[in-house]
Amino acid sequence: MYFSLTEEQHLVLELIADGSVPAIPELERYTAPLRKNRLIVLTDEIKWQITQVGEAMLEQRHHRLH
């Protein structure tokens, strides 16, 4: 499976990886594609958490940037 994320979606993924990000409607346009591709999951219906797939996506990006 291959997909690409926008810079904004990468930023949101990094923010979620750094800590808990609340599930708020204002972020839906960024979180929906991340959730659809299983990069994040909703915990207790109030916060986003990065998945192992999301961690791998961030690692690949960091390797390409260095």
Quick check: 2 pLDDT over 70? no
pLDDT tens digit string along 12-66?
A: 999 999 986 888 999 899 899 999 999 999 988 788 999 999 998 888 766 655 4
User: What sign for the dihedral angle of Cα 41, 11, 7, 31?
Assistant: positive
Taking residue 6's Cβ as centre, other Cβ atoms within 10 Å add up to 11
Sorted by where each starts, the structural domains of the chain and their CATH numbers stand as: 7-65 (1.10.10.10)
